[in-house]
Structure 1
């Protein structure tokens, strides 16, 4: 099922603003951090931009919030139309009239002078108000887009948009859908919630994150998707470890993930093995190496096409990233080579992931008593980008790993200043 025709109205308005500014689709793509071909699909009404993408386009085109408001109206219009009643009947006359009013508002927002083709498209959109099917494919694409943006945007940048999306899904879940639709929406809710919970953890909002993780677990379990249930628990355990939570709480979630997986290789079980290795690395080198082997073996057993979730650069880069971290934790000399392999595979548009790996490399250098290089590397890395829970966690590890005589080093003092909350 294609996108609602009202997206063609939004795309037409976006194109006209771009052409007035004399910009190319490549310029808009750069501003929105997407490939320019996706911008063309937005303008053609073929793909739907996320709220965060619409905000970036609005800023780039100097629209003073016009495109942001139009995007919100379009989302509201589309989702009201695609909401089904319990018996699958069309929406009532009051909803019909609301949709007509929304469509008229969209036409007004698009600009005072609208090309005839766009006006006809707007009127066609009004005629589609009885199209009440929920487009799960579109929701899955939305999840994928947020996941893609997640590792490319600053910490906390997507929290508001993710919250809005989760609210919209919650409304749809309360409509009494067919079992297949309900299960699909629950999967979407679980994945969006897991992204939001991680963003909240990275922003230091642990209490709120716990509530969101609880909702993510319940949604995943209710969807009947066993792999997703495994993933959510493993990812929460991972976040809790970075936040410095109690080893018991972290281990319990990781063990739950392993138990639910039942030996089936998946992204979630990979995370669980990572967490187990980190826990064991603190004084249990043998157990840590066993968990590291399990991680590598599970990765190799993933089925074709099963090497990824949207929020992480899975594949060889992701594998080497975690190998480098785990080898550093257990003091293995191979860590240096694996760092180089991981950094060579990550693209420049994932600065948060790369900078965290650079901090881990700084920790490795300090533990090898290359103090000057390690501290210089750490301070240089922390001077760019926002502070996150994970960055602060690794930086604290660096300060604790310093020998006594190095704690007065100028860069050690600067490092402590950078990680101390204002």
Structure 2
């Protein structure tokens, strides 16, 4: 408990110094332990990974991250033990899921370099598990890091690798990979490939089972589908379709989904800017970003809001509201 409290404090102060050191130590220990034999209470850890898979549930990202790293401290002792090949495969699968979720949280917090390192650990574990769909899911999620931080071509490459691994059979991993590819190609300016990927993900989404549509980080729920399509269609300038999918995304979003709702609102603002209503764009973006708790104003939400701000002319009405929300010098 004391260590957890100390870790929470370090993470709350920012991912630097002791907080970053704790992340690095934990990840290195896991990488080393993956090379060893291990075993024990796998059922508990499978349920733990499943529980974390349901997302933030209104908790701040740094709080969830602190809990996960505390659990990883216990998981390390299990990784260091010997076990049967079957249980080793199961444990690698659990580790891949857990490491992938840590990477997602780091991405959401804007720590893209450390996120890539955790995705590498998740990839290593997924390969050892032999689960090709888990491997595809990890690559698909990792592709969102370069996508959201200025490297869409690298994102498209990772997403296409994930699409290849997932194959043509409908799966949550295949749908995610195609959705991320559609966004990456849209941002890269390759509209033909973006529209083809949109067609692929819409075809896949219609064929997923209820389990594959589960509202978790490992599923591909329709809410998540509409969030991806909102971003792809917004970038493509297809604002009519974008507004429709944004409406669907909001209708399907749970009330505590603070980050999701803010990102959708910023997409809507970007559509208004594209349609020539820049005042509404600035007002909507300022309200969406400015009303977020401080712990949600770093990383992806700030990147999106700042990108919109930079596209608006200096004489845009209400642009000062957006500048104030972003804490920019006037």
TM-score category (smaller protein): 0.7 to 0.9
Output the CA distance in 2 between the equivalents of 1:262 and 1:341: 28
Q: Which of 310, 313, 323 is residue 216 of structure 2 equivalent to?
A: 310
Which range moved further: 395-404 or 405-414?
405-414
Looking at structure 2, the residues matched to 301 and 313 of structure 1 have their Cα atoms a distance apart, in angstroms, of 13
Q: Give runs of aligned pairs for residues 38-117 of structure 1, distance below 5 A.
A: none
**Greater RCO between the two (CA within 8 Å, min separation 6)?**
2
Q: Which residue of 2 aligns with 1:139?
A: 45
**Structure 1 residue matching 2:143: 3-state secondary structure:** helix
Structure showing greater radius of gyration is 1
Match 1:197 to one of 69, 79, 103: 103
2:283–2:319 contact (8 Å) kept in structure 1: no
- 1:223 counterpart residue number: 129
Is there any run of 5+ residues in structure 2 with no aligned partner, and where? 9-36
Q: Matches of 1:351 and 1:362 in 2, distance apart?
A: 16
Partner in structure 2 of residue 323 of structure 1: 229
Report the more deviating stretch, 228-237 or 399-408.
399-408
* Alignment match, 1:279: 184
What's the offset of the Cα at 1:295? 0.9
What's the counterpart of residue 210 of structure 1?
Answer: 116
2:276 equivalent among 340, 349, 369: 369
Could you tell me how far 1:290 is from its partner in structure 2?
0.9
1:203–1:409 Cα change, 3 Å: closer
Alignment length (residue pairs): 291
1:382-393 → structure 2 map (5 Å cutoff): 382-383=289-290, 384-385=292-293, 386-393=296-303
| Alignment partner of 2:311 out of 388, 394, 401 | 401
- How far did 1:266 drift? 1.8
Q: Which runs of 5+ in 1 are unaligned?
A: 1-50, 56-85, 89-132
Taking the TM superposition and a 5 Å limit, the aligned residue runs for 1:230-379 are 230-244=136-150, 246-282=151-187, 283-308=189-214, 310-311=216-217, 314-332=220-238, 333-379=240-286
Cα distance in 1 for partners of 2:73, 2:319 equals 50
1:293-349 per-residue CA deviation (whole Å, 9 max, x = no partner) reads 111111122234222362378422222222222211111112112211211111102
Distance in 2 between the 1:141 and 1:183 partners?
A: 16
Structure 2 vs 1, CA of residues 343 and 300 (structure 1 numbering), >3 Å: closer, same or farther? same
Q: Distance in 1 between matches of 2:316 and 2:48?
A: 49
Please name the residue that 1:11 is paired with.
none
Once the two structures are superposed, residues 136-157 of structure 1 have per-residue CA deviations (whole angstroms, 9 ceiling, x without a partner) of: 3322221122122425321222
Contact 2:230–2:246 (CA under 8 A) maintained in structure 1: yes
Question: 2-side partners of 1:231 and 1:137: how far apart?
Answer: 22
Contact kept? 1:321, 1:357, Cα under 8 Å = yes
Conserved? CA contact 1:156–1:202, under 8 Å: no
Structure 2 residue matching 1:156: 3-state secondary structure = helix
**Residue 149 to residue 280, structure 1, CA distance change in 2 (3 Å):** closer
CA distances 1:98-120 after superposition (whole Å, capped 9, x unpaired): xxxxxxxxxxxxxxxxxxxxxxx
1:277 Cα deviation from its structure 2 partner: 1.2
Partner of 1:72: none
1:158 aligns with 2:64: yes
TM-score by length of 1: 0.63
DSSP 3-state at the match of 2:214: coil
Point out the more displaced range, 297-306 or 192-201. 297-306
Measured in 2, the distance between the counterparts of 1:208 and 1:409 equals 33
CA distance in 1, matches of 2:79, 2:71: 12
Identify if the C-alpha distance between structure 1 residues 414 and 343 changes in structure 2 by more than 3 Å, giving closer, same or farther. same
Give how far 1:183 is off.
1.0
Structure 1 runs (4+) deviating above 6 angstroms are: none
- Cα separation, 1, equivalents of 2:242 and 2:53: 28
CA positional deviation for 1:365: 1.6
Please give the TM-score of this superposition, normalised by the length of structure 2.
0.80
**Pairwise CA RMSD:** 2.5
Provide the rounded CA distance (Å) in 1 between the counterparts of 2:45 and 2:156.
32
Measure, in 2, the Cα distance between the counterparts of 1:401 and 1:372: 12
* Structure 1 residues 309 and 235: CA distance shift in structure 2, 3 A: farther
